[in-house]
């Protein structure tokens, strides 16, 4: 059921009303909790799973020169939280360490409750770049390699932020001559969807591509250094002023519950290597409490709130 305030917002913003109608279609009137055609990532064979946040298959295939066998797969979600629920929720993963630059699992940990061997919350500490307002991909590679040394007989999930907003260039935050991008733009995609923020789609495409180009060498360094079989994939894709279905609403970002190709068709790059000896062991205590205000601030800087 929808609240009166939600109904009023939908009427006031037709694009959001159209999005909700499309969501009802894709979720089969909410009878599907997630995209049931998507891959169960923990049911696949790998030692390291690299997640590039919001990375579309088509753009990855165009820009990546990473070694390996590339094919498209479907993700179970069109948003990070939906992906986490569909793959992590209530699962015993005692053979797995999750190394993440994204605070979403921490924020929703009481609901999702994965039983992991350990979690490395890279976004919590000093590695957060206050100027870029994100975790740079080079930092993530360093922290993943440290985790591989600390947990040599565990599967690793390495959740990079890029090419997710905020956009990066080779030397910092992506900028352009028109100054469209602020360093901190709360609810970035929502503002574009509602018209509160106006940026030409071609400008966003340049920024998105530049951010993936920034991340790929860091992932390449990880592939060169880490042992085992590695999969490079994404939690979901992204839409930039493209029409959804069945209602041809122009969509922005990666709202949950919309299973268009742009949102759930993700890369699946298989990189073979000498396999690690994976052992399941009871969880170790790794959680460091973080103030809710800090979590909210990190998510806002990533354009979520």
* C-alpha 277: how far from chain center: 28
**pLDDT single digits (tens) 6-18:** 555 555 689 999 9
Q: Are 123 and 102 in contact (CB under 8 A)?
A: yes
Q: Quote the pLDDT of residue 10.
A: 52
Calculated CA dihedral for residues 205, 210, 212, 216, nearest 10 degrees: 150
**pLDDT single digits (tens) 57-114:** 999 999 999 999 999 999 999 999 999 999 999 999 999 999 999 999 999 999 999 9
Cα→Cα distances 42→137, 248, 295, Å: 23, 34, 27
DSSP 235: S
CA atoms within 13 A on the CB side of 18: 15
Do β-strands 69-74 and 265-271 pair in parallel, antiparallel, or remain unpaired?
Answer: antiparallel
Q: Are 82 and 34 in contact (CB under 8 A)?
A: yes
CA 46, CA 24: separation in Å to the nearest integer? 34
Top-level CATH class of 35-301?
A: alpha beta
CA 184, CA 301: separation in Å to the nearest integer? 5
Q: Quote the pLDDT of residue 285.
A: 85
Cα→Cα distances 95→101, 119, 142, Å: 20, 12, 21
* Domain residue ranges in the chain: 35-301
Q: Are 109 and 85 in contact (CB under 8 A)?
A: no
CA 227, CA 70: separation in Å to the nearest integer? 19
Element (H, E) at 220: helix 201-225
Please, what is the end-to-end C-alpha distance for the chain in angstroms? 23
**pLDDT single digits (tens) 197-225:** 999 999 999 999 999 999 999 999 999 99
């Amino acid at each position: 059921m929808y609240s009166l305030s939600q109904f009023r917002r939908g009427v006031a913003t037709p694009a959001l009303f159209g999005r909700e109608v499309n969501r009802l279609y894709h979720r089969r009137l909410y009878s599907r909790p997630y995209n049931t055609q998507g891959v169960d990532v923990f049911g696949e064979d790998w030692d390291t799973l690299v997640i590039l946040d919001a990375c579309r298959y088509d753009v990855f295939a165009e820009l990546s020169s990473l070694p390996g066998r590339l094919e498209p797969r479907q993700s179970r979600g069109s948003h990070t939280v939906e992906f986490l629920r569909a793959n992590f929720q209530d699962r015993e993963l005692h053979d797995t360490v999750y190394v993440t630059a994204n605070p979403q699992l921490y924020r929703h940990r009481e609901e999702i409750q994965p039983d992991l061997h350990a979690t490395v919350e890279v976004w919590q500490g000093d590695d957060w770049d206050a100027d870029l307002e994100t975790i740079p991909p080079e930092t993530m590679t360093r922290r993943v390699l440290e985790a591989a040394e600390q947990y040599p007989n565990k599967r690793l999930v390495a959740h990079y932020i890029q090419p997710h907003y905020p956009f990066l260039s080779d030397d910092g935050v992506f900028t352009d001559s028109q100054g469209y991008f602020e360093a901190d733009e709360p609810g970035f995609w929502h503002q574009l969807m509602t018209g509160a923020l106006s940026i030409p789609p071609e400008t966003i495409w340049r920024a998105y591509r530049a951010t993936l180009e920034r991340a790929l060498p860091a992932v390449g360094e990880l592939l060169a250094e880490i042992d085992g079989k590695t999969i490079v994939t994404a939690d979901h894709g992204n839409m930039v002023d493209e029409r959804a279905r069945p209602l041809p609403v122009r969509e922005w970002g990666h709202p949950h519950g919309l299973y268009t190709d742009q949102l759930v068709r993700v890369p699946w790059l298989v990189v073979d290597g000498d396999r690690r000896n994976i052992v399941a062991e009871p969880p170790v205590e790794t959680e460091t409490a973080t103030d809710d205000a800090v979590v909210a601030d990190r998510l806002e800087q990533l354009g979520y709130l």
